[in-house]
Amino acid sequence: MTDPTRTALWTSIAETLSAEIAKGHYRPGDKLPTEAQLSVRFGVNRHTVRHAVQSLVQAGTLHSRRGSGVFVMLQPTDYPLGLRVRFHQNIAASGRTASRQFNRLETRGCDAGEAEALGLTAGAPVHVVEGVSMADGQPVAVFRSVFPAGRFPDLLTHAAKTPSITAALSACGVADYTRRSTRITARLANAVQAVALRLAEGAAILRSEAVNVDPAGQPVEYGLAWFAGDRVTLTHAPDQP
């Protein structure tokens, strides 16, 4: 008969690893030993180790990268929201390396919400750019940016050359743009978002909806971003001239 007062092996292993992480034995961004190595260390089978590690992944202490291993979660990155919001600059200011991966470059008709945000008629052609934003190789947000195709016919060509919205707009003649509005709401990650952000389905995320305008006040971008709630701290930044 199982002793109900006895701690399960996987729970004990998870507590040991969690304590070692808290003490700095494994620092944010460090790779954890493999399942095989942990199995030898604790004298248990891989299934028990996997159960312990998965519990820490679900708790947000660790995150798994397919084909790479399991890593200690990085500390949340401060992400200022102000008049000018530039992903690479914001991440670099926090001392981390920013990168972006575009996985969708498409032209299609806009829906009613996009039309209203960009000052277009419903069905007008827009360019859609979707992808994942990362800090030190860890996904922090998935995003969708929508642009008026009539004004920027070559935007997707420029975006295909460099994963930078700012660079693509600059190549299209928009040297500067500012944030006209931002709306933040809480959401739960769906299956697709969870895979992209390496989260559990149903994990807390933050949805940002924004409109960027050129110096003349004309909308140039309608953007949606879904941030991993435990990896980014959204802050209000004073407007810069």
Mean pLDDT of all residues in 184-203: 88
pLDDT in tens, 121-158: 999 999 999 999 988 787 889 999 999 999 999 999 99
> Is 4 within a domain?
no
Q: What pLDDT is stored for residue 105 in this prediction? A: 97
Res 4 pLDDT > 60: no
> Is 174 within a domain?
yes
Would you tell me the crossing angle of helices 46-58 and 35-42 to the nearest 10 degrees?
110
Q: What pLDDT is stored for residue 171 in this prediction? A: 96
> Is 2 within a domain?
no
> Is 56 within a domain?
yes
Domain edge (last residue) among 20, 47, 72: 72
pTM of the prediction? Answer: 0.71
Distance, in Å, from the CA atom of 105 to the CA atom of 111, rounded to the nearest integer, reads: 17
Q: What pLDDT is stored for residue 13 in this prediction? A: 95
Full residue range of the structural domain in which residue 180 is found: 77-236
Residue pair 128/104 in contact (Cβ under 8 Å)? The answer is: yes
Which two three-digit tokens encode residue 70? Answer: 């399991």
Same domain, 98 and 183: yes
In CATH, what number is assigned to the domain containing residue 129? 3.40.1410.10
Same domain, 110 and 224: yes
| Residues contacting residue 196 through CB under 8 Å, at least 6 positions apart | 132, 139, 142
> Is 170 within a domain?
yes
Distance, in Å, from the CA atom of 121 to the CA atom of 74, rounded to the nearest integer, reads: 43
> Is 241 within a domain?
no
Same domain, 88 and 59: no
In CATH, what number is assigned to the domain containing residue 29? 1.10.10.10
pLDDT in tens, 56-73: 888 778 888 777 789 887
Number of domains observed in the structure of the chain: 2
Q: What pLDDT is stored for residue 217 in this prediction? A: 96
DSSP annotation of 61: S
Same domain, 180 and 156: yes
Q: How many CB atoms lie within 10 A of CB 70?
A: 20
Q: What b/e readout covers 215-232, taking b as 16+ CB neighbours within 10 angstroms?
A: eeeebbbbbbbbbbbbbb
Mean pLDDT of all residues in 151-166: 94
State the alpha helices, DSSP H only, in the chain: 9-22, 35-42, 46-58, 87-93, 112-118, 155-159, 165-171, 191-197
Distance, in Å, from the CA atom of 73 to the CA atom of 151, rounded to the nearest integer, reads: 42
Res 118 pLDDT > 80: yes
Res 95 pLDDT > 90: no
Domain edge (last residue) among 30, 48, 72: 72
What are the strands, taking DSSP E only, across the chain?
62-65, 69-72, 77-81, 98-109, 125-135, 138-148, 178-188, 204-213, 219-228, 232-236
Q: How would residue 29 be classed by pLDDT, with cut points 50, 70 and 90?
A: confident
Which two three-digit tokens encode residue 140? Answer: 């922090």
Distance, in Å, from the CA atom of 234 to the CA atom of 81, rounded to the nearest integer, reads: 7
Same domain, 124 and 204: yes
Distance, in Å, from the CA atom of 200 to the CA atom of 194, rounded to the nearest integer, reads: 6
Same domain, 121 and 65: no
Res 237 pLDDT > 50: yes
> Is 218 within a domain?
yes
Same domain, 68 and 81: no
> Is 1 within a domain?
no
Count Cβ atoms within 10 A of the Cβ of residue 112 and give its class: 0-12 exposed, 13-18 middle, 19 or more buried: exposed
